[in-house]
């Protein structure tokens, strides 16, 4: 077998995507398997929106990426994504905008399925999913509020809802349950 860049891309052990204007230009076999696609045509040329639980989450994540890119154009987070079957799962996403001044113009993204060690076990609203992901990052209510453009008090209300849904009495217990369920 010839080992070249295309082979390395296609056979990488994580999902890889080349994107342009939030469209999937090209993806590898691991990404197809992760999202339950049989053929590249099911994803190539399509909007990333297809892989998000809701349109609002797609839009808000896009805005968060723009606001959070570092000077070199890198971004990473953990979020709940959606397989083509509709199943929700935790995913680590990292990537790089080729031009940090135009974050969505062109990029290289990697996706790692975290469902083997972290399950989506409760019915969560889109906002609860976002807040759960940011709590896992260790952010305070104030920092979460700034990232999501909501008040820290609103974050606390959602945190309380998450604690009830997961049967947690403290934030560290909630984070532990989010990480291990």
pLDDT in tens, 104-139: 999 999 999 999 888 887 788 889 989 998 998 888
Within this chain, do residues 107 and 145 fall inside the same structural domain, yes or no? no
Within this chain, do residues 138 and 93 fall inside the same structural domain, yes or no? no
Within this chain, do residues 160 and 95 fall inside the same structural domain, yes or no? no
Number of domains in the chain: 2
Please state, in angstroms and as integers, the Cα–Cα distance from residue 90 to each residue in 96, 142, 161, following that order. Answer: 20, 24, 19
Within this chain, do residues 60 and 146 fall inside the same structural domain, yes or no? no
Within this chain, do residues 52 and 105 fall inside the same structural domain, yes or no? yes
Within this chain, do residues 108 and 131 fall inside the same structural domain, yes or no? no
Contacts of residue 140, defined as CB under 8 A and 6 or more positions apart, other chains included, come to: 152
CATH number of residue 148's parent domain = 1.10.10.10
pTM of this structure: 0.80
User: Could you list the residue range(s) of the whole structural domain that residue 160 is in?
Assistant: 126-180
């Amino acid at each position: 077998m010839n080992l070249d860049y295309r082979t390395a891309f296609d056979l990488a052990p994580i999902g890889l995507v080349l994107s342009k204007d939030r469209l999937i230009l090209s993806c590898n076999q691991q990404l197809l398997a992760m999202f339950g696609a049989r053929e590249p045509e099911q994803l190539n040329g399509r909007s990333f929106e297809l892989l998000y639980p809701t349109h609002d989450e797609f839009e808000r994540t896009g805005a968060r990426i723009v606001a959070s890119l570092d000077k070199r154009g890198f971004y990473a987070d953990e979020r709940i994504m959606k397989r083509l079957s509709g199943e929700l799962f935790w995913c680590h996403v990292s990537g790089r905008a080729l031009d940090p001044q135009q974050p969505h113009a062109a990029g290289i993204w990697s996706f790692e399925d975290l469902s083997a060690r972290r399950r989506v076990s409760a019915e969560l609203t889109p906002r609860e999913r976002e807040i759960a992901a940011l709590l896992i990052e260790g952010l305070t209510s104030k920092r979460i509020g700034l990232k999501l453009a909501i008040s820290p008090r609103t974050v606390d209300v959602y945190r309380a809802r998450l604690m009830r849904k997961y049967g947690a009495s403290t934030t560290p217990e909630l984070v532990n349950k989010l990480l291990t369920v």
